[in-house]
Amino acid sequence: MHITQEHLQFWREHGYVIVDSFLSHEELRQARANMERYVPTWEEFCAAPERYPRIRSSGMVKAEFPFVGTALNDVTTHHDVTDAVERLLGTRQLHLTQSIFWAKFARTHDYEQELHLDYQNNTLVFPSDDERFQQVPMILYYDDVAEGDGPTYVVSRKYTDHLLHEVSHARDQVDERSLATFERLNVPSLDPSQFASVYEHEQPVIAKAGSLLVFTMSTFHRGSAICAASGRRLSHHIVYRAAGREWMGWLAWPRRGADPEMRDFVQRATPRQLELLGFPAAGHEYWTASTLAGVAARYPRMDMTPYREALERREPAVAGVIREG
Ligand SMILES: O=C(O)CCC(=O)C(=O)O
């Protein structure tokens, strides 16, 4: 489902929005099939748990973009995702900072968390409310999530923004109370015994498979215990920000440059999908006859046409040399 203006308005007011059935049935089917390359089914896990020591010790399978196969990479760079982020951040210049999927398994681990914010390992500074400097974190659910399946809980920013305000002003005021809040929130998770009034407002994200939770780095949320006796919960965590805001991030994509998954992604992606990783756009000054030839040699199956045509428009003489070569 396309993310509507009403969804975006709800997000602005509350710091989160749930988009029901965001993925089509076919996209969902393909994404789940793609995940099977990494994650055993519940039945496979139960039949031979000793084959999966990582799941037994941490309760989790995690894998990061770029993924083997195509569906999860396409979901990460889905047009409806980037279109919504463009409208939220007010720019077309976006940068993907994170795309990780998690599989959690019943009866393996206590997934219960305290309400928290995610900014500590996603930015070097403090979350800003200025849309130009925000990040847009999202969670896509690949299974139906009912009350017993470890739903994410979220709290509307209406009930928590005063806490962030206290944190950001605590240093100016230097009174005992503000400093105590600052210290409590510096590791931004809320102890239920001290913040019971915030917990009263938390809402479980009960969602159909294919639904999307869009939130902010200032939105308190938490993972919760899987109470169901069986099953797994597959979720995909994606974060975008505007390009050029280097204080926010997770990892540098070139670090994965030599991996076959990245080579496959680069060779089948559109220029727009590649831009989301920081790849120079067609028409960018980076492109010359020699960089074009170098990139084409590095990725033999990549369609260089958009880059070559943009260069021809910019520097017809150079393009002539390329054609002759
Ligand atoms: O898995 C979830 O539903 C949320 C997990 C989460 O918020 C976290 O690990 O930071």
- CB–CB of 164/218 below 8 Å? yes
Confidence band for 320, pLDDT divided at 50, 70 and 90: low
Res 314: pLDDT? 85
Predicted pLDDT of residue 165: 77
Contact call for residues 77 and 278 (beta carbons, < 8 A): no
Average pLDDT on 146-153 reads 96
pLDDT above 70 coverage of the chain, percent: 90
137 ligand 1 Cβ < 6 A: no
Residue 224 CB–ligand 1 contact under 6 Å: no
pTM of the predicted model as reported, rounded to 2 decimal places:
0.93
Q: 189-213: per-residue pLDDT in tens?
A: 888 988 899 999 999 999 999 999 9
Strand 115-116 relative to strand 232-242: parallel, antiparallel, unpaired?
unpaired
Q: How far is the CA of 114 from the centre of ligand 1 (A)?
A: 10
**17/171: higher pLDDT:** 17
pLDDT at 322 over 60: no
Up-side HSE of residue 307: CA atoms within 13 Å toward CB? 25
The residue contributing the CA closest to ligand 1 atom 5 is 223
Look up tokens 């917990």; give the residue: 199
CB neighbour list of residue 31: distance below 8 Å, 6 or more residues apart: 23, 71, 72, 75, 140, 142, 236
- 3-class SS of residue 268: helix
- Nearest residue (CA) to ligand 1, atom 7: 222
For ligand 1, whether the C-beta of 122 sits within 6 Å is no
Confidence check: pLDDT of 172 > 70:
no
- Tell me which residue has its CA closest to atom 2 in ligand 1: 223
Where does the pLDDT of residue 263 fall: very low under 50, low under 70, confident under 90, or very high at 90 and above? very high
Sign, Cα dihedral of 43, 143, 207, 162: positive
Q: What angle do CA 235, 239, 245 make, to 5 degrees?
A: 170
Instruction: Identify the residue whose C-alpha is closest to ligand 1 atom 9.
Output: 223
Closest to 30 (Cα-Cα) out of 89, 91, 78, 63: 78
Span from the CA of 222 to the centroid of ligand 1 (angstroms): 5
Task: Single out the residue of 10, 78, 18 nearest to residue 211, CA to CA.
Answer: 18
Q: Closest ligand 1 atom to the C-alpha of 150?
A: 3
DSSP H helical segments within 130-222, as ranges? 161-173, 176-186, 196-199
Residue 1: per-residue pLDDT: 67
* Ligand 1 in reach of 221 Cβ (< 6 A): yes
Q: Count CA atoms within 13 Å of residue 149 on its CB side.
A: 17
222-259 exposure pattern, b = at least 16 Cβ within 10 A, e = fewer: bbbbbeeeebbbbbbbbbbbbbebeebbbeebeebeee
Ligand 1 pocket, residue 219 CB under 6 Å: no
How far apart, in whole angstroms, are the C-alpha atoms of residue 188 and residue 191?
10
- Atom nearest to 102 CA in ligand 1: 1
Q: Of ligand 1's atoms, which has the minimum distance to the CA of residue 221?
A: 7
118 lines ligand 1 (CB under 6 A): yes
Is the distance from the beta carbon of residue 149 to the nearest atom of ligand 1 less than 6 Å? no
Instruction: Report CA(14)–ligand 1 centroid distance (Å).
Output: 18
> Which is the closest atom of ligand 1 to the Cα of 222?
7
Residue from 16, 152, 227 to probe ligand 1 pocket by mutation (most atoms less than 8 Å from CB): 152
Q: Which of 221, 232, 233 to mutate to test the pocket of ligand 1 (most atoms within 8 A of CB)?
A: 221
